[in-house]
Amino acid sequence: MIVEQRTYTYQPDRTGDFLSLYEAEGMEVQLRHLANMVGYYVTEIGVLNRTVTMWGYEDLADRDRRRRALFENPAWIAFLAKARPLILTQETTVLRPAPFFSNTLKQMLRAQGTPS
């Protein structure tokens, strides 16, 4: 099991615009392909105008397969065309759970009703 953490920084005062667009046009299609949303957060202190998202995968091959399918979806491509102008930077980190947290993460994802 791995978790991908993605951090996006938006144009000043455009985070709300991105979140509204994502909720209306991006979230459903992304959840259909990626399924295991571990978290979706907005920064309140520190660097502002940011979201941090976390997605669970079985392994890197599972991540690659799911993301490839997502990027073949016309609805996702249309969403990105609207969302990208709002984004200033993007960072991606792949994390492995500490040995004592691996089972907890799997249980959390099962409790969400998502495949793990």
Percent of the chain with pLDDT over 90: 84
pLDDT score, position 21 = 98
Q: What is the pLDDT of residue 116?
A: 44
Question: Taking the mean position of all CA atoms in its chain, how far away is CA 116?
Answer: 16
Instruction: Report the pLDDT averaged over residues 76-103.
Output: 96
Q: Tell me, what CATH number does 37's domain have?
A: 3.30.70.100
Q: Is residue 81 part of a domain?
A: yes
Residue 14: inside a domain? yes
Count how many Cα atoms sit within 13 Å of the Cα of residue 24 in the half-sphere of its side chain. 11
Asked if the structure places residue 116 within a domain, the reply is no
Determine the distance from the C-alpha atom of residue 14 to the mean position of all C-alpha atoms in its chain, rounded to a whole number: 18
Q: How many domains does the chain have?
A: 1
Q: What does the pLDDT look like over 33-68, one tens digit per residue?
A: 997 999 999 999 999 999 999 999 999 999 999 999
User: What percent of the chain is modeled with pLDDT above 70?
Assistant: 97
Q: Is the pLDDT of residue 92 over 80?
A: yes
